[in-house]
């Protein structure tokens, strides 16, 4: 079984942004992401 590729934090955030998440807060290296659903929640 092949090993999984290591991802940096910036790469993970970029992938999640493609899935509809938005960065709404950052303090140092800690980033909070939020995704709004169809109903706006």
- Whole-number Å distance between alpha carbons of 17 and 30: 16
Give me the tens of pLDDT residue by residue for the chain, a chain 41 residues long: 899 999 999 999 999 999 999 999 999 989 999 997 766 55
Please report the DSSP string for 12-38 in residue order: HHHHHHHTT-EEEEEETTEEEEE---T
In a domain, 26, yes or no: yes
In a domain, 1, yes or no: no
Q: Is 14 left (phi over 0), alpha (psi -120 to 50) or beta?
A: alpha
User: Could you give the number of structural domains in the chain?
Assistant: 1
Q: Which domain holds residue 25?
A: 6-41
């Amino acid at each position: 079984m092949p090993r999984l590729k290591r991802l940096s934090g910036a790469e993970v955030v970029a992938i999640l942004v493609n899935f509809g998440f938005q960065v709404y807060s950052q303090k140092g290296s800690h980033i909070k992401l939020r995704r709004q659903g169809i109903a706006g929640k």
